[in-house]
Chain A
Amino acid sequence: MRIAPRAYLFPVLFLIAGFLLAGCGSDHRFVKKTAFQDTNAITIEFAGPVEGSWATDKSNFTVYEKPDPDIQLIIEDIALGPDKRRVTLTFKDDLNQDQPHVVTTTDIRSERRSLRPAILTVKKLYLGHLLSIFIGAMIISNFVFTKYLGLCVFFGTSQRKSTAVGMGITFTMVIVVSAMMAWFLYQFVLKPYRLDFLQIVVFIGLVSLSVQAVDTILRKVNPALFKAFGVYLVLVIANCIIIAVPLILADNEYNAFESLMLAVGAGLGFLIALFLMSSVRERLDLANVPPTFRGLPIAFVVAGLFALAFLGFSGMSIF
């Protein structure tokens, strides 16, 4: 008997939702919620009122970023809400909210009772974190205009809009496949066996392998699509972005979802860059460009203007 595909849908969605929401829970029974506030504050919400003398004493809290527990962050001020359930820790410097922070307290004192000490993790909503990686890779630190990678292919294929879109889509497909494979190999083979130094060799091999695999599969499964996009597959391997993404996700120790978001963001960001550039270059063909600047030089100047425009996105944080 075949089970209708829809029957799978709800359990799977439920699992994903459960996984994503699991990030918001706290680790202590008396603590209801922890969250970042503004750029330099953390709020902790308790289930009942806490004693003012305990809550406003700076020595009762130690805060550090999860990856480096040695560096304690300096708390400048502690404020207790009027209902005594909400404590706001203000810090001297801005917090790096992409990293989870750990707040350790001494025994929590509430209504003259002493409760056991709490170790709390403060992090952004997981979905928001994923989305910020995605938007970051796509626009804020666009690989072409703010990281200056993949320029050879970028200038080579941005002459016509149709070519640009074809290249962008092919590139996105290949980069998602190869980034996921690179993540798997790095987490389960290279890291456990301490073969980190082979990163470059393994990743470049993997990229050529996935280009070949996409080529073969597409040829059999969807010949029409292959006819449209097959020519760009060879060019994908000459693009630095495709080798930069596995290196970045290995450096940052991203998990599977984060890696997927980075790869999709990088691919779509390249597509956006190609499309913008090709729109301008189609118009440039009609313009009266001085002979010395015809071709590549004027394309570089245009790309420089785009890069200046993309500079405006820098430092933006959405979630």
Chain B
Amino acid sequence: MPATTKNSFQLVSNGILNENPIFRLALSMCPAVGISTTVMNGVLLGIAVLFVQVFSSCTIAAIKNYIHPRIRIPTYTLTIATWVTVIDLVLAAYMPTAYKEMGIFVKLIVAFAIITMRLETFACKNSVQASFWDGIGMGFGFMFGMMALGLVRELLGMGTILGYDVLGFRPLLFFVLPAAGFFCVGLMMGLFNYIELTYNRKKKGT
């Protein structure tokens, strides 16, 4: 892929819609299933991923000319690991309760396929500025995906949104169960497929 010609707005919307990390690329599914029980969890992990994605993209874009192609993957990994360590220590120091709830997933950002993939396909060929906007787009795409999942599960499971009681009753307690994460992701992917299929069919018809 040659250097991108898109402007910053297109880069951001690309990450949120066309190449949404959770529903379109189906990457980094572990947190999407594991801790998407509430909207708040999605927001917090989304912020962590956004931070790591933006900073590693910028770092790699800045030093891309000095990396030997043969050792590029280890370089990416170590860059990501460094930024994950930073956010891990910051969250542990300033938000201990939320950090505890997210458990091991903050440290596991280091193994998220989405970040390495963006470095490999985008940041190592583009300028710092373009990589920054791409990182923002991908981070927000991930955050919105997590929030959408959290919204469905929190609303259906607990009848609340962000801790506020909205429905007044609990429609399907099943959705709070950890195992329901799989169902929720599967059903939402099915929904997106359905929308896409009907949209394409309509387009063909007219």
Is B179 located at the chain interface by the 8 A CB criterion?
yes
Q: Do the beta carbons of A301 and B182 come within 8 Å of each other?
A: yes
CB distance from B190 to the nearest CB of A (A): 4
Is B46 located at the chain interface by the 8 A CB criterion?
no
CB distance from A289 to the nearest CB of B (A): 10
Select B34's contact among A147, A204, A205, beta carbons within 8 Å. Answer: A147
Q: Which residues of A have CB within 8 Å of B116?
A: 238
Q: Which residues of B have CB within 8 Å of A152?
A: 27-30, 113
Is B158 located at the chain interface by the 8 A CB criterion?
no
Is B177 located at the chain interface by the 8 A CB criterion?
yes
Is B176 located at the chain interface by the 8 A CB criterion?
no
CB distance from A69 to the nearest CB of B (A): 23
Determine the main DSSP class of A at the interface with B: helix
Select A248's contact among B28, B104, B183, B190, beta carbons within 8 Å. Answer: B104
Q: Do the beta carbons of A149 and B85 come within 8 Å of each other?
A: no
Interface residues of B in 74-96 (CB under 8 A from A): 74, 77-78, 80-82, 84-85, 88-89
Q: Do the beta carbons of A301 and B30 come within 8 Å of each other?
A: no
Is B163 located at the chain interface by the 8 A CB criterion?
no
Determine the main DSSP class of B at the interface with A: helix
Smallest Cβ-Cβ distance to B80: which chain A residue? A204
Number of interface residues of A (CB under 8 A): 40
> Complex Cα distance A247/B108, Å?
9
Q: Do the beta carbons of B178 and A301 come within 8 Å of each other?
A: no
Q: Do the beta carbons of B82 and A201 come within 8 Å of each other?
A: yes
Q: Do the beta carbons of A300 and B183 come within 8 Å of each other?
A: yes
Q: Which residues of A have CB within 8 Å of B74?
A: 205, 208
Q: Which residues of A have CB within 8 Å of B3?
A: none
Select A291's contact among B34, B77, B183, B197, beta carbons within 8 Å. Answer: B197
Interface residues of A in 274-310 (CB under 8 A from B): 291-293, 296-301, 303-304, 307-308, 310
Which 8 residue pairs are nearest across A and B when measured between Cβ atoms?
A300-B186, A304-B182, A307-B179, A148-B34, A297-B190, A304-B183, A301-B186, A151-B29
Residues of A within 8 A of B (CB): 145-152, 155, 197-201, 204-205, 208, 238-240, 242-244, 247-248, 291-293, 296-301, 303-304, 307-308, 310-311
Residues of B within 8 A of A (CB): 26-30, 33-34, 73-74, 77-78, 80-82, 84-85, 88-89, 104, 107-108, 110-113, 116, 177-183, 185-187, 189-191, 193-194, 197
